[in-house]
Structure 1
Amino acid sequence: MRMLLSFAAPLLALATASSSTTANADGVMLDPSREFHQSVDCHNAYDRLVADMQAGAAISPAAREWAVAHEGAANAGTPCAPPLPEMIARGGNWYIRTIEGRDTAAAFYHKQKDPAALSDLGIAWLNGTVAGGSAQDGLEMINEASKLGDPVALFTMGTIHASGSLGATQDYARAFELLSQSAAAGHIDAIYRVGLHYHEGLGVKRDYKKAFEQFRAAAERGHFYAIIMAFDMINSGRGAKQDFALAYRLSRTVAEQGEAYGAVMAASSLLQMKDPLKHEDEILYWIELGIEKGDENIRTKLIPMREQVIAAFTKAKAPPQYVPRAYKACPMKTVCTVNHFSGLQSCTTNKDYWSDCDG
């Protein structure tokens, strides 16, 4: 077992080093700034439907009915209905880009101060996806939406203050405050960034335990970089118990996406469990996947390591080597007797078999 455990450290080092440099299954470099929060609300869902209709795409009857109701709510000044499951299934990160979507969202804001509508409009103008306002106008709208409690706006303003971008003064304390509010509302990227602030002591006292809690919360929802951070903290015992079953479960979230470093993390986690022999097939499977999906650097290190791991498993499963019992020669023992009649003594010398020395 000790021999098998010795492979966990180099696998862990390889996983950590690869996490920021490995291309994914499509050959695209992983982006540390990638956002995982799926922001699908009634405003960008409506705009997406409009864009689909303008492009001649087929729209379901339920979606058409929902769109009509959405327009009616905008005119009546009543809250919009949640997006349909089919809209949510398409994912978020859609910016308003049609005039109809822009004007309908504006109606929701002006008539009922809908913070999500204001946030969506601001982000659209900040990114230049629809006419009607400048990037500065968009930034001011996002800031106003953050004051109204919109999670996406809170996250956006938090990242702006953390980086000191778009003319803002870098203020980690303010960034932490805004990101914490967004995280409390369930924004997955905000949860991850709050973990980073705790981990690095940015705008808040460094607290590894709280950092791990945030990373795990985001990791449980599939945030890749939160998984990497949580995995690293579990392995090092920094702010977390060395729970390799948890490390493996989190690693699989990445590995099952075909990410090479996720497969390496999964193999490393299994090798550090109490009985890695029970997980032989899984360990070798993840190593093979790492070889298949990894770049040249990963393959160069994993291919010889795979052979060494196989050899270690073979040796660990081999029966104990037979060692014959050592033969011990019995010592000689002399026994003398005296004849009662003649008084003569007679002696005999034989091996001392009574000691069972021959086994």
Structure 2
Amino acid sequence: MNRLSRVLLATSIACLSAVPAYADLKSALIALDDKEYEKSAKMLAAAFEAGEYDAAFYMGRMLELGLTGAPDINGAIALYATGSAMGSSLAKNRLGILHMEGVGVLQDYKQGAKLICEAANVGEQNAEYNCGALYQEGKGVSVDSAKAIDYFKRAAIQGNVAARNMLADIYAGGKGIDVDAKKAFDLWQQTAAVGNPYGLFMLAKNYSEGTGADKDLIKAHAYANLAAARGVAGASEMRASIETKLSPDDVVTAQQVARSWRPAPDAEASGNRGTQLNAPGPDKSERATRSEKKKN
């Protein structure tokens, strides 16, 4: 067990008689985002002892990712289990994901689904997305499209990017729900606004076809350009195809639109952070330490 593992486990699970004044989760996460890992570890442990049990999730992720040493999956699981038992929906969701994936624990779809959906049922938005995906796929639970859509809607209301993209796909394809191109477009517009590559790509596609919105090839080119810059498969080909339908002046205008575009504040700021199962579209990476809960 590396030094950080010892610090986290010793100071987080043991009951301390005194809690430092800085024992708040928000300050600990600021230190974590600033990559002050040792400082953050101590602050997270103190926050945990002060009753902010989501700290166990963040401490577990630090160990799981090996932010200051070798990854320690066993230490991470111990923290997730402790946090889950104390009521942390973030820790419970992550523990459920590990059971689904069979990482550090036996792969057990039923147990994984139980943990994830319990976290979803207390409003953890990434767990809501995950539980919806499980009902959609029939992993650990019986296939139930209506329940899947309900969980996706709950997560989408909270601003979960993956859930909004998934719902958009569902509305566009009429999977268990009436086709509604306008609702699909509106949802992709929301995810594109925060810089999500899949949302940008789908806006380009919709504007190029006039689906869910008026056809606008300049906007289509601009969004395809933005998606291509983010490495979305097929985006550069779409941009090239749209360009053949534009005048040279219109291409210049579209490029200016793309250059001027800026994501909305807080855009994709915290990413997936190990809290979501595979999301729709090309952006499925697990990015570092914090939960997407700010706000897939």
CA distance in 2, matches of 1:108, 1:180: 27
Displacement of 1:235 in angstroms is: 1.9
1:1-359 matches, within 5 Å, as: 50=5, 62-80=36-54, 98-111=73-86, 113-131=87-105, 134-163=108-137, 165-258=138-231, 261-273=234-246, 276-278=247-249
RMSD: 3.6
Is contact 1:74-1:107 (8 Å) kept?
Answer: no
Task: Please give the secondary structure, in 2, of the residue aligned with 1:231.
Answer: helix
CA distance in 2, matches of 1:230, 1:116: 31
CA distance in 2, matches of 1:61, 1:281: 41
CA distance in 2, matches of 1:143, 1:133: 17
Runs of at least 5 residues in structure 2 that lack an aligned partner in the other structure: 9-31, 66-70, 255-296
Is contact 2:113-2:140 (8 Å) kept?
Answer: no
Match of 2:263 in 1: none
Is contact 2:221-2:242 (8 Å) kept?
Answer: yes
Match of 1:356 in 2: none
The alpha-carbon distance between structure 1 residues 102 and 150, as it changes in their structure 2 partners (threshold 3 A), is same
CA distance in 1, matches of 2:35, 2:197: 36
CA distance in 1, matches of 2:251, 2:109: 55
* Structure 1 residues 297-355: Cα deviation after superposition (integer angstroms, max 9, x where no partner): xxxxxxxxxxxxxxxxxxxxxxxxxxxxxxxxxxxxxxxxxxxxxxxxxxxxxxxxxxx
The amino acid across from 1:157 in the alignment is C
The alpha-carbon distance between structure 1 residues 156 and 69, as it changes in their structure 2 partners (threshold 3 A), is same
CA distance in 2, matches of 1:182, 1:100: 29
Displacement of 1:133 in angstroms is: 7.9
Match of 1:14 in 2: none
Displacement of 1:184 in angstroms is: 1.9
Displacement of 1:260 in angstroms is: 6.4
Higher radius of gyration, 1 or 2: 1
The amino acid across from 1:171 in the alignment is D
Aligned length: 218
CA distance in 2, matches of 1:189, 1:219: 11
The amino acid across from 2:235 in the alignment is G
Runs of at least 5 residues in structure 1 that lack an aligned partner in the other structure: 1-46, 54-58, 91-95, 284-359
* Structure 1 residues 250-300: Cα deviation after superposition (integer angstroms, max 9, x where no partner): 212222135563222223334444xx12256799xxxxxxxxxxxxxxxxx
Which TM-score applies when normalising by structure 2? Answer: 0.62
